């Protein structure tokens, strides 16, 4: 808000000064070039603008340019090529009052025109979610919340990979685990021996098998299928039932955890039901072929992805007649573009291990006549799990630590905050022992503590409390209803006491920094949305919390002076609102007590 105000002032000043700047053409693109920043050195004002970039156009030295523009502005000091703005207390009061009156701080319409379909996590229903899925889950859901806060229309979608080879593998694994369990019960002969290596060796497969056998009817049918003493892997009815059952159990397990993590999807798209059962794939293939982008070679059907910059052509239908992973995925993405929702942005979060997959998918999208500029993939670098100080490759361990284990250990709030507190471009080390043992040192608690502290102050302000010495109950600092009225009808002028009561320059400086930062929340949200970078929000919240803790330590909020107390409480209220809103954008709870 304050930044925008300054930019507006600057625009007017530029127009007035254009004549003296060699007839500089002042338009929006020129104004967009001005970058407002908070100088480190307090002598450089509260906001600063560097005008050096105008030197070439105007053929004038930067200090001269700054001087000319500065002469058309108030509250500005010119040093070298810089315009240093000083923010007045009345502007700060106005910004604070605006925050108090805003139902949802940071809410804006910067992405109002966007209709976004965001697909993320999209795990195979073949096992528990791992730590990497946790990163995409936290990242995706936070991005959804942030985009919506900027006015975008967003649909979150989970693509269930339930039609491929992996579903067959998990079925086989569950089958053998069931055999194993029944052998132990003496219900199947010992001659049925397990293969040396199961496609899914994890122990959870035993749980699935045992749940399957808990159904007496299924158990009886399973045993009956082995009347000849041979393995029943070829028994289609049995295999199908096992497959459907396993998928249901494993998917529900994933959904349960995501739900617990407050990660929400509007759509759960089953590859099998949505693509195969509705026969969508041949249609897409036909359109590709019709446009001449496919060819047959070596008994396989190929996509000419090299025509779209891919390094080699890709197989769509293998020589055995089945599709590669790519093919249904092309049909799926084709469908995303064709939906009646008319999305103008198809956004995916993929792990960095799928990076090489982008050119062919992008090529297919182009080949099918869609706009590749609307297709956007957010690549997240992988997560390293650190157990007992050792880096473990995910999934390579027989007994791996699942996302569920991690969430049990460190909690939803800490997991989510940690997962989005670093740029998705950086690979992330997740030290489980550290996160578990030192959970009280987790940055999320720092922010939550600041929020709880605000709430505590707001509670104490209106509640009668016992006198420290006498134990007698004394009246609250302010009356609850009076405070409520004050807040509802707050005018910037009523905040004058907030500033006047502070005499020390350091106190004033801390307050000003805090207010300017609170005022910058909307910008933080916009930046986070534009760059799909929730870590801007975590960073922002940590800064607010630090500045609040700092202010708290030098300035008492609850005083015997009701008018002063009320003014200071407005600051606390604004901080509390912003912390709560920021945490909500990250799907992290904002406790009122800790």
Partner RNA sequence: GCCUCAGUAGCUCAGUUGGAUAGAGCAACCGCCUUCUAAGCGGUAGGUCACAGGUUCGAAUCCUGUCUGGGGUACCA
Interacting positions 439-458 with RNA (CB under 7 A): 440-441, 443, 445-446, 449, 452-453, 455-457
The 8-class DSSP code of residue 314 comes to E
Q: Minimum CB separation from RNA for residue 264, in Å?
A: 24
Residue pair 134/419 in contact (Cβ under 8 Å)? The answer is yes
Largest CA distance in the chain: 99
Q: Which stretch binds RNA (CB under 7 A): 113-121, 131-139, 420-428, 580-588?
A: 420-428
Chosen residue from 495, 533, 574, 586 binding RNA by CB under 7 A: 533
The 8-class DSSP code of residue 492 comes to G
**Residue 92 or 514: which CB sits closer to RNA?**
514
Q: Which stretch binds RNA (CB under 7 A): 145-153, 191-199, 237-245, 530-538?
A: 530-538
Q: Which stretch binds RNA (CB under 7 A): 106-114, 131-139, 187-195, 355-363?
A: 355-363
Nearest partner of 380 among 334, 331, 413, 347, judged by Cα: 347
**Residue 256 or 466: which CB sits closer to RNA?**
466
Residue pair 318/300 in contact (Cβ under 8 Å)? The answer is yes
Q: Which 461-500 residues touch RNA, going by CB under 7 A?
A: 468
Q: Is position 227 an interface residue for RNA (rule: CB under 7 A)?
A: no
Q: Which 36-55 residues touch RNA, going by CB under 7 A?
A: 37, 39-41, 43-45, 48, 50, 52-53, 55
Q: Is position 221 an interface residue for RNA (rule: CB under 7 A)?
A: no
Non-local (6+) Cβ contacts of 210 within 8 A are 177, 181
**Residue 202 or 213: which CB sits closer to RNA?**
202
Instruction: Characterise 321 by phi-psi region: left (phi > 0), alpha (psi -120 to 50), beta (else).
Output: left
DSSP secondary structure string, 28-88?
Answer: HHHHHT--EE--SSGGG-SEEEE-GGGHHHHTS-HHHHHHHHHTT-SSEEEETTEEEE---
Q: Which 134-153 residues touch RNA, going by CB under 7 A?
A: none
Report residue 74 as tokens.
């108030």
Chosen residue from 28, 234, 320, 388 binding RNA by CB under 7 A: 320
Q: Residue 433, SS3?
A: helix
What whole-number distance in Å separates Cα of residue 269 and Cα of residue 122? Answer: 9
What whole-number distance in Å separates Cα of residue 302 and Cα of residue 295? Answer: 5
Chosen residue from 193, 259, 286, 426 binding RNA by CB under 7 A: 426
**Residue 265 or 303: which CB sits closer to RNA?**
303
Q: Is position 73 an interface residue for RNA (rule: CB under 7 A)?
A: no
Q: Which helix (H) or strand (E) holds 375?
A: strand 375-380
Q: Which 542-561 residues touch RNA, going by CB under 7 A?
A: 542, 546, 549-550, 552-558
Cα 585 versus chain centre, distance: 8
Non-local (6+) Cβ contacts of 411 within 8 A are 439
Q: Is position 267 an interface residue for RNA (rule: CB under 7 A)?
A: no
Q: Under rule CB under 7 A, how many of the chain's residues touch RNA?
A: 91
Q: Minimum CB separation from RNA for residue 217, in Å?
A: 31
């Amino acid at each position: 808000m304050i930044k925008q105000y300054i930019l507006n002032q600057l625009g007017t000043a530029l127009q007035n000064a254009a004549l003296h700047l060699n007839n500089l053409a002042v338009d929006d693109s020129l104004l967009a070039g001005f970058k407002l920043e908070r100088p480190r050195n307090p002598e450089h004002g509260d906001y600063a603008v560097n005008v050096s970039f105008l030197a070439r156009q105007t053929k004038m030295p930067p200090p001269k340019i700054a001087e000319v523009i500065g002469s058309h502005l108030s509250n500005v000091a010119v040093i070298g090529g810089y315009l240093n703005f000083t923010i007045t207390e009345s502007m700060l009061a106005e910004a604070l009052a605006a925050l108090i009156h805003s139902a949802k701080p940071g809410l804006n319409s910067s992405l109002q025109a966007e209709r976004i379909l965001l697909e993320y996590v999209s795990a195979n229903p073949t096992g528990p979610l791992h730590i990497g899925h946790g990163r995409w889950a936290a990242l995706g859901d936070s991005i959804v919340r942030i985009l919506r806060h900027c006015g975008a229309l967003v649909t979150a979608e989970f693509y269930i990979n339930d039609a491929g080879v992996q579903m067959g593998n998990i079925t086989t694994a569950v089958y053998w685990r069931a055999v194993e369990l029944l052998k132990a019960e003496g219900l199947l002969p010992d001659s049925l021996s397990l293969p040396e290596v199961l496609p899914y060796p994890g122990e959870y497969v035993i749980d699935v098998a045992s749940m399957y056998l808990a159904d007496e009817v299924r158990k009886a049918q399973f045993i009956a299928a082995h009347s000849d003493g041979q393995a029943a892997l070829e028994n289609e009815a049995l295999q199908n039932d096992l497959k459907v059952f396993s998928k249901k159990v494993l998917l529900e397990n994933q959904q349960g955890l995501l739900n617990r993590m407050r990660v929400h999807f509007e759509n759960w798209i089953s590859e099998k039901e949505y693509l195969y059962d509705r026969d969508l794939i041949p249609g897409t293939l036909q359109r590709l072929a019709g446009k001449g982008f496919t060819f047959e070679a070596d008994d396989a059907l190929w996509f000419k992805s090299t025509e779209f910059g891919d390094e080699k052509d890709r197989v769509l239908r293998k020589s055995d007649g089945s599709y590669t992973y790519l093919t249904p995925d092309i049909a799926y993405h084709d469908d995303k573009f064709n939906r009646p929702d008319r999305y103008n942005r198809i956004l995916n979060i993929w792990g960095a291990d799928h990076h090489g997959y982008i050119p062919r998918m992008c090529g297919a999208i182009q080949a099918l006549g869609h706009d590749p500029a609307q297709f956007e993939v957010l690549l997240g670098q992988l997560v390293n799990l650190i157990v007992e100080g050792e880096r473990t490759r995910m999934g390579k361990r027989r007994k791996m630590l699942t996302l569920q284990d991690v969430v049990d250990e460190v909690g939803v709030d800490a997991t989510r905050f940690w997962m989005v507190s670093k740029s998705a471009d950086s690979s992330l080390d997740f030290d489980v022992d550290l996160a578990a043992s030192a959970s009280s040192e987790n940055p999320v608690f720092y922010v939550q503590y600041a929020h709880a502290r605000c709430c505590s102050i707001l509670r104490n302000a209106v509640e009668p409390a016992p006198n420290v010495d006498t134990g007698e109950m004394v009246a609250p600092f302010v009356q609850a209803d009076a405070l409520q009225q004050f807040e509802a009808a707050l005018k910037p002028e009523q905040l004058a006491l907030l500033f006047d009561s502070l005499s020390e320059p350091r106190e004033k400086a801390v307050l000003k920094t805090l207010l300017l930062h609170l005022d910058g929340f909307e910008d933080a949200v916009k930046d986070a949305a534009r760059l799909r970078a929730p870590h801007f929000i975590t960073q922002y919240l940590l800064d607010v919390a630090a500045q609040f803790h700092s202010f708290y330590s030098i300035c008492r909020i609850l005083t015997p002076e009701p008018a002063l107390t009320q003014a200071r409480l407005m600051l606390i209220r604004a901080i509390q609102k912003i912390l709560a809103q920021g945490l909500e954008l990250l799907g992290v709870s904002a406790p009122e007590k800790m």
